[in-house]
Structures are given as structure tokens and as C-alpha cells.
Amino acid sequence: MLYYAIVFLIIALIAGVLGFGGIAGTAASIAKVFFVIFLVLFVVTLFRRA
């Protein structure tokens, strides 16, 4: 599950760079969604390993 969290983080960072750079307007909102998914997966992973 940590693998998926890292994949979502990378996708969110790429979408953020594209969106905030002005290349694609909707990429910023996609980056926010992926970042929230990453945070949820990260917290779940932390609790499952503890």
C-alpha cells in the first residue's frame, strides 16, 4: 500500500507542476485530489504497520 501512496504522491506533484505553471488549468484541482488520496493512504499505511 505504501507503493500506491508514493505513486499518488508523484502523480500529484507532476499535476501540481503542470497546473500551477499555467500549462493546464484543471491539473491543479487534480493535484489537490491526488494529494488528499496520498495523505489518506500514508496515514493508513502508518497505522497498519504500527
| pLDDT, mean of residues 4-33 | 72
Q: Give yes or no for residue 17 having a pLDDT over 80.
A: no
pLDDT score at 5: 78
Among the listed residues 50, 36, 33, 48, the one whose alpha carbon sits nearest the alpha carbon of residue 2: 48
pLDDT score at 48: 86
**H or E segment and range at residue 5:** helix 2-20
Q: What's the pTM value of the predicted model, to 2 decimals?
A: 0.49
| pLDDT, mean of residues 34-38 | 84
- Which sequence spans correspond to the domains of the chain? 2-49
Q: Give yes or no for residue 24 having a pLDDT over 70.
A: no
